[in-house]
Amino acid sequence: MAVRGLAAAVLLLACAAQAARPYRGGAVATAYPQASAAALEMLEKGGNATDAAVAAAFVAAVVGPYHSGVGGGGFALVHDGKSGETKALDFREVAPKAATRDMYVKDGKVVPGLSTDGPLAVAVPGAVAGYLQLLKEHGKLPPSVVLAPAIAAARKGIWVTPRYHSMANGRLECLRRDAEASRIFLVKSEGGTLELPPLGHVLKQPDLARTLEAVAKGGARAFYSGRVAKAIADTVQAGGGVLTVEDLAAYKTRPRQPLEGGYRGHRILTMPPPSAGGVAVLQVLGALEKLRPQGIAFKDPEALHLYVEAVRRAYVDRAKYLGDPDFSDVPTARLVSPGHIADLAGSIDPKKATASLSLLPQSPRTQGSTLTDKPAVHTPEPEKKNTTHISVIDKDGNAVALTTTINYGFGSCVVAKGTGVLLNDEMDDFAAQPGVPNAYGLVTGEPNAIQPGKVPQSSMTPTLVFSKEDPRKVMLAVGSPGGSTIPTTVIQVISHVVDGGMDVGRAVNEGRLHHQYLPDELWVDKWGLEPATLATLEARGHKIRRVDQWGDAEAVFVDPKTGLRYSASDPRNEGMSLGQD
Ligand code: DON
């Protein structure tokens, strides 16, 4: 499709966004039509999957300021179709040098909001360094071309969609507290109060456009030093935060070894720690394969029970062991070893739900844990779509799965003055007090305590599944937002495709189930299960909580037999899948 025909094509395809139609060339899935269009434009200009994914990531920073941005960070897996090699890049934020273990604790208690709202919540951003590093290592096009759609979007403006509305509404008080964020993301009413912009209102971000132009010309240096860096540090410090220009100057991305496993003959590569997601994906799929070697029938209540129990145990391991491997000994290899997965599977009662608290320190499975036997149980509001995923597979079989975030909706709600850079609140992904739940209700332990320079534990799980016929060829690129629910979303999409032989469009649409060990409840989304199946799970002792919906899976599938690509954007959000005919 010619680039000039793109706008019309985007309109046309937007009407059929969820139909996973076949493409002969590259295909992309993102949470925003503009980001998917930018990715497709890069492919049309001769760029590869990395050029497309990075262009989409920069556009996402402009059009979805509530999900991700240049003030955030993330993870990417990049597969080279020619060499068959896959690399992982960790460009997540790190704790500033002056961060301390107890910075969010007063009088022995975590102060609510301190690690999520405002300047003290801000960790050192990694997105710009990460996106440019990906481009340098794997891309074909220059930054000026790849950043152009994002710059244009920032200048032209974005219209306020229902998603923008609900996200800004959820963070209204937080945004109102920051004058710069209010100026950009809210409007003044006639009475002088700061309110949500009306639906359809156009928001322009000229300061962000200038910052992106500087990055396009000057590279990461234009962000991590000079005017932008100074504005970030000054803004954060003026509000009582601890981030400095030295922190920004010292920021480095970290190459990681992808975590490898398999499911029913398919090789899987996923994100290793500091992501906790990849370990959970391999543990749960491994346990399911062990317990159901013959495969899993769609919505079979017995298999659903086994899935929930495997997830419960994976999240216990997560709480106990996972954190930044550069700071503590994270036993990743053991956790995904066949022996450990067999133990995990073997400890499941096929007929009865295990009480989560019985898996805590007094039981042999959790000895040595730093968690107390009765951790505070916080039930989070599950719908917090403030992260975004981009999947691309190009015509040459290069693939990218990239998940990026500013953590909470609109991050910390702090915009660095004059730069348009909305800063993250990724510090909340640390254990503010080991054993005390964070905004997602996740309880993490000692390995995830705050230390300067450390990466907070993450749920982000960009994942590649390879074809059975050729384990060097990517069959599925997938990932999602959803905080603690990210790994279970990824697991279910993979299982739907591999076990159910489901087309990728349907696999991302399907209702979902999630457990995270604490709170001890099984979340079922509104289309997740019909009453009879729910009743059989309840009879096994699962405490069910109906949740409206969560996640936003973005996936590209290659049919190993025909080589055709199919892309799918989750109907739960405003995204779009596109491809080259
Ligand atoms: O890295 C993490 O696990 C979180 N900061 C991700 C946040 C998220 O996905 C919120 N989304 N819905």
Residue nearest to atom 2 of ligand 1 (CA): 458
Residues in the chain: 581
Q: What is the pTM of this model?
A: 0.94
Q: Which backbone phi and psi does 481 adopt, to 5 degrees?
A: -85, -175
Distance CA 440, CA 484 (A): 6
| 569 annotated as belonging to a binding site for a ligand | no
Which sign does the torsion angle of CA 457, 122, 206, 14 carry? positive
The answer, yes or no, to whether any atom of ligand 1 lies below 6 A from the CB of 270, is: no
Same domain, 466 and 356: yes
In this prediction, residue 231 carries a pLDDT of: 98
Rounded Cα gap, residues 552 and 389, in angstroms: 8
Distance (Å) of CA 189 to CA 69, 164, 192, 197 = 27, 18, 5, 9
CA 244 to chain centre: 26
Task: From 8, 38, 252, 50, select the one nearest 149 (Cα to Cα).
Answer: 38
Residue 369 among known ligand-binding residues: no
Is the CB of 90 inside a 6 Å radius of any atom of ligand 1?
A: no
Residue 244 sits in the same domain as residue 275: no
Residue 87 per-residue DSSP state: E
- Which atom of ligand 1 lies closest to the CA of 385? 12
Q: Which helix (H) or strand (E) holds 184?
A: helix 179-185
| 523 and 539 together in one domain | yes
From 271, 389, 405, give the residue whose CB has the most ligand 1 atoms within 8 Å, as the site to mutate. Answer: 405
CA–CA separation, 457 vs 148, rounded Å?
33
Show Cβ contacts of residue 227 under 8 Å, excluding neighbours closer than 6 positions: 214, 419
What CATH number does residue 474 fall under? 3.60.20.40
Q: Residue 402 domain-assigned?
A: yes
34 lines ligand 1 (CB under 6 A): no
In this structure, the answer to whether residues 222 and 348 fall within a common structural domain is: no
Measured from the CB, is residue 458 less than 6 Å from ligand 1?
yes
Cα-to-centroid distance, 395 and ligand 1 (Å): 30
562 and 439 share one domain: no
Residue 554 within any structural domain of the chain = yes
Residue 388 annotated as binding site: no
pLDDT at 18: 52
The pLDDT score that the predictor gives to residue 385 is 57
Residue 483 annotated as binding site: yes
Going from the Cα of 538 to the center of ligand 1, the distance in angstroms, rounded, reads 29
* Active site amino acids: 387
| pLDDT for position 19 | 56
- Say if ligand 1 is within 6 A of residue 425 CB: no
Q: Is residue 340 part of a domain?
A: yes
Residue 333 domain-assigned (yes or no): yes
Residues 33 and 115 in one domain: yes
Domain that includes residue 35, residue range: 26-255+386-448
User: Residues 154, 195: one domain?
Assistant: yes
Nearest CA to ligand 1 atom 8: 483
Q: Quick one: 362 and 342 in the same domain?
A: yes
What pLDDT shows up at residue 443?
A: 75
363 contacts: CB under 8 Å, gap ≥ 6: none
Determine the atom of ligand 1 nearest the C-alpha atom of 428. 5
User: Residues 302, 375: one domain?
Assistant: yes
Same domain, 281 and 354: yes
Q: Does residue 212 sit in the same domain as residue 296?
A: no
Identify whether residues 100 and 81 lie together within a single domain.
yes
- Structural domain total, the chain: 2
* Residue 4 lies inside a defined structural domain of this protein: no
pLDDT in tens, the chain (581 residues): 344 444 444 434 443 445 588 999 999 999 999 999 999 999 999 999 999 999 999 999 999 999 999 999 999 999 999 999 999 999 999 999 999 999 999 998 899 999 999 999 999 999 999 999 999 999 999 999 999 999 999 999 999 999 999 999 999 999 999 999 999 999 999 999 999 999 999 999 999 999 999 999 999 999 999 999 999 999 999 999 999 999 999 999 999 999 999 999 999 999 999 999 999 999 999 999 999 999 999 999 999 999 999 999 999 999 889 999 999 999 999 999 999 999 999 999 999 999 998 987 544 333 444 444 444 444 445 345 589 999 999 999 999 999 999 999 999 999 999 999 999 999 999 998 877 777 777 777 888 999 999 999 999 999 999 999 999 999 999 999 999 999 999 999 999 999 999 999 999 999 999 999 989 999 999 888 999 999 999 999 999 999 888 999 999 999 999 999 999 999 999 999 999 99
